[in-house]
């Protein structure tokens, strides 16, 4: 079991819409990733750090980037940048 999963304690029930659950172009990892981002971004934007998310999901940094690019390409996620702060934080938000 990866270190990231040992730290994870769910705060809410994560549901997965049938359109995502049975989406023919998504892998199980991409579906799980989408569900988590959707859950975290329901009330606000999810701060996006591919390095932190890679540790959380126990996958490579590149895998997170690939998942984000694919989900954005399928019009399921949007990436936003806050230019007002010094770090230009990036955010993810589901589009459902």
If one counts the domains in the chain, the total is: 1
Tell me the pairing of strands 46-48 and 77-81: unpaired
* Residue 4, in any domain of the structure: no
Question: How far from the centroid of its chain's Cα atoms is residue 76's Cα?
Answer: 10
* Residue 89, in any domain of the structure: yes
Q: What CATH number did the domain enclosing 67 receive?
A: 1.10.10.10
Summarize pLDDT for 7-59 with one digit per residue, the tens. 444 556 677 788 888 999 999 999 999 988 888 777 666 777 788 888 888 99
pLDDT at 3 over 50: no
- Determine the structural domain holding residue 48 and report its residue range: 28-94
Average of pLDDT values for 48-71? 90
User: Which tokens hold the place of 34?
Assistant: 């989408």
* Residue 7, in any domain of the structure: no
Q: What is the reported pTM? A: 0.76
């Amino acid at each position: 079991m990866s270190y990231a999963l040992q730290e994870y304690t769910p705060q809410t029930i994560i549901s997965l819409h049938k359109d995502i659950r049975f989406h023919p172009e998504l892998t199980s990892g991409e579906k799980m990733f989408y569900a988590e981002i959707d859950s975290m971004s329901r009330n606000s934007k999810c701060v996006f750090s591919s390095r932190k998310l890679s540790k959380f999901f126990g996958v490579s940094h590149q895998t997170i980037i690939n998942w984000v690019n694919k989900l954005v390409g399928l019009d399921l996620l949007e990436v936003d940048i806050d230019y007002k702060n010094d770090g230009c934080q990036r955010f993810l938000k589901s589009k459902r």
